[in-house]
Chain A
Amino acid sequence: MTTVDDHKPAGFEDNDQHPVGHGRMLRKEDPRFVRGRGNYVDDVQLPGMLHLAILRAPVAHARLVSIDTTAAEAHPKVKAVVTGATLEGLKLAWMPTLSNDVQAVLVTDKVRFQGQEVAFVVAEDRYSARDALELIEVEYDILDPVVDVRRALEEGAPVIRDDIEGKTDNHCFDWETGDAAATEAVFATADVVVEQDLVYPRVHPAPMETCGAVADFDPVEGRLTLWSTTQAPHAHRTLYAIVAGLPEHKIRVISPDLGGGFGNKVPIYPGYVCAVVGSIVTGKPVKWMEDRSENLVSTGFARDYVMRGEIAATRDGRILGIRTHVLADHGAFNGTAAPVKYPAGFFGVFTGSYDLEAAYCHMTAVYTNKAPGGVAYACSFRITEAVYLVERIVDCLAAELAMDPVELRLKNFIKPEQFPYTTKTGWVYDSGNYEPTMREAMRLAGYEQLRREQAEKRARGELMGIGVSFFTEAVGAGPRKHMDILGLGMADSCELRVHPTGKAVVRLSVQSQGQGHETTFAQIVGEELGIPPADVDVVHGDTDNTPFGLGTYGSRSTPVSGAAAALVARKVRDKARIVASGMLEVSADDLIWDKGSFHVAGDPSAAVTIQDIAMRAHGAGDLPEGYEGALEAQITYNPPNLTYPHGAYICVVDVDPGTAQVKVRRFVAVDDCGTRINPMIIEGQVHGGLTDGVGMALMEIIAFDEDGNCLGGSLMDYLLPTAMEVPDWETGFTVTPSPHHPIGAKGVGESATVGSPPAIVNAVVDALAPFGVRHADMPLTPSRVWDAMRGQARPPI
């Protein structure tokens, strides 16, 4: 035992509580991270390990004429050079995407986006592998690229997906939701109709740790161990079994500590498959770690929706309907990581938090010569785009009606007594109480005061803006009958064992990328069993040591696995009751649970603790008739519905009239994620998402030039917020528990990323109102704001 000084300086005392269950508690994973003892994929070092590097296409669209690998193979440190032709021989040149499309692992026929994988080298060290890439000679026959999403379906546009038999255009899919005729009827008779074109540009999640893998194939046992940056280790294992034809029980996927994910680590990338092939062909462990530009140009992007929003209302501000047409850029392959029956993800919740008469959306998705992806960056399966659409268009309506944007929202909220509420696009919102959340945000922000300050500043020619957004999210996918990824139902399992001394281990199918699962899940089990969270070990991220489940994305962990953890603990508690009834020699029905112990009804002194019970369950004495021993359980939780967290955000910006620079001065976020397990962790999730929001609203874009060159391929070109661009966040909360979740919790990991961009854009547009600006697209960089101030706002793509 080390001597430690547990002094806490004044003003910070609330940081360390020791709840038995829910409450503020320091994270169990932090001691290793602050010592530099995290274990990320790139930290894995195996004896004899080789390094893999990928040659990527320098152009966006080109026929592959020839590849000459002779010189690379002759490099003294090179062990293997693999091309698409080699993979074709192994029937591995193409792999399925998560949306039932296919994607090339290595190019065999044609390059379809800049940065696409063309060949790989396995060498003794990182640098030699890179050296050898330079020695590969590739001849390309350059084709015209399809870059402008609006022109992808034009007659005569080059056909990108000629690998699909009979394909004569770049159409990916059409999708619609809602009732077109009913919506048309509402629009035809409405007093006021407002229309606005909106672009949600392509952005990238850019976790600080890029994607990578270490593959170790044992040819004797036929066993593959794969350390990889995956948010969904079980789903990946099954897909590797299907793609590579390896027996599933011989594959072990380990997702160690992840340096952030944000949806970037949900898909299977060609690089992972290359690492596996590299290990099979060399008989050695092989590491592949992409560099930052590879991450930005080739892995799952987010958004890229070109939307037209229309809203119909009465003159006094009652919203009647919302209609939208969306053009979705899916890149060269449809790699969207969403439930298969939801090609547009959960964009269908674009009716937001409002009680409408009708709604309709029609979407056309197309292929372009850009990297695949679409669902990522904490988007809750495209709810980012949906919330942006509705919260911008509602603000446009407020401007048209000359109504305060808060007043307009308050007037149209779904009322608490209307829950469960079925939206006009068929989503069943489980619960909500919107007005108190909105009012709490107004109180924290000092809304009326801010409006007065703004009026004074406007009179002096200063540009201050106040932006509001209110969102409802739908998170925690299943149930499995509606939602699956490539046929794998969206449900998650959980296993709990209480050891003889009363310490426990809980095994999860979901995987943390920084969300603090080792703490939160220990708290959930602790709350149900009355065991201190410090006594509960959380095991995750290893398919050999955890039960099956679909993984962490779309804010699923707490709504799905959190429910599983609570229910498995209750199952263990029921077993403990049987053991306790034997120990106390009473009927199980006569026992009262006291969070950590059972006592006999009417006699609190006749009690046994969960620890006593655990020892008895494993001990030498007799157990009640029919009880086999041990204290453990397993369950699979198939959620009956999604959970619907909501929140109210208020942003205050100042725009410099001389430079058009936007400064986010204040940001107030009030979130309602139902029951709060660890408020410290929730606040951290919100802070991170708000920072994403500042990035997307003001800085980030993955743009392309007319030749299809990616213009956001490094952190010098793709700007992420630093500590200088973000304010000191102000957070608050309300609590509306989910009625169907065992502990009433809803997801919160993506709420702020979803909810904050419209608040920021609304604030900037509000600041620019004196110039007659009604809308300006993200990212609101100084030059784009400058143009808007001069009446020349233009879309970013």
Chain B
Amino acid sequence: MQVSMTVNGEEVTREIEGRLLLVHFLRDVLGLTGTHWGCDTSNCGTCVVWVDEKPVKSCTMLAAMAGGHEVRTVEGLAQNGELDPVQRGFMECHGLQCGFCTPGMMMTARALLNENPDPSPDEIREAISGQICRCTGYATIVRSVRWAAAYEADRAEAPAATTTGGAP
């Protein structure tokens, strides 16, 4: 069957098997390997992407079901070459180690901040509670998201102050 959807702002159309999971469509067909796969039972959340701006586990959805929808993956998180504050927060606060859970964690974190720009640590923990990280122990992930929130609050107050330098 043929499926068309928008992935990271670009229209894509592909011939696929009806049973193909969205996670495999993104990884194997489109080569967007930033989205990972880590379990058979929808427990790990390494596969989280956005469908119409809502985080979903892409292993629980057929690619065909995403037809006509807008999908965003970690590769589409940076805008115009500028890292999202969530990506910067994860680097600044050691929110990742092996990096396997990280794309999914960041997609959830970005969605959370879009809805709630000043989440408490408990709200952040709740938001990522369907996702597993085996490396970080979560505290630095919570801190990373808090970094992004604080950064965005500062920026909202003083939007103009930018400096130039090397990309991190």
Contacts and interface: CB of A to CB of B under 8 A. Distances in A.
Given A688-B137, A691-B138, A30 B96 contact: yes
Nearest to B137: A687
A293 B40 contact: yes
B97 A516 contact: yes
B121 interface: yes
B137 A729 contact: yes
Contacts of B139: 687, 726, 728-729
A690 B137 contact: yes
Contact of B100 (A30, A40, A515): A40
A681 B94 contact: yes
B121 A728 contact: yes
A5 B162 contact: yes
Interface in B35-72: 35-41, 43-44, 46
Contact of A26 (B17, B92, B99, B106): B92
A31 B98 contact: no
Interface string A1-40: 1111111111110011000000000110111111111111
A329 interface: no
A474 to B, nearest CB: 23
Contacts of B99: 29-30, 32-34, 38, 257, 259, 514
A40 B93 contact: no
B127 to A, nearest CB: 9
B133 A208 contact: yes
Contact of B97 (A292, A515, A723, A729): A515
A35 B34 contact: yes
A164 interface: no
Interface in B137-152: 137-142, 147, 150-151
B10 interface: no
Contacts, number: 233
Contacts of A9: 147, 150-151, 153-154
B131 A722 contact: yes
Contacts of B15: none
Contact of B150 (A11, A210, A689): A11
Interface in A490-533: 513-516
Interface of A: 1-12, 15-16, 26-27, 29-40, 42-43, 45, 126-127, 205-210, 257-260, 262, 291-293, 513-516, 680-681, 683-684, 686-692, 714-716, 720-724, 726, 728-729
Given A4-B168, A723-B124, 10 more contacts: A31-B91, A32-B99, A34-B106, A208-B46, A260-B98, A514-B97, A688-B97, A723-B125, A726-B138, A728-B142
29 contacts: A2-B82, A3-B162, A5-B155, A7-B161, A9-B150, A9-B151, A10-B154, A16-B92, A30-B91, A33-B96, A33-B102, A34-B96, A36-B34, A40-B33, A127-B20, A207-B134, A208-B101, A209-B38, A209-B100, A260-B134, A262-B134, A683-B140, A688-B97, A690-B137, A715-B44, A723-B128, A723-B138, A728-B139, A729-B139
Going nearest first, the 10 A-B pairs with the smallest beta carbon separation are A36-B34, A514-B98, A259-B100, A687-B137, A33-B99, A9-B150, A36-B74, A514-B97, A715-B43, A43-B33
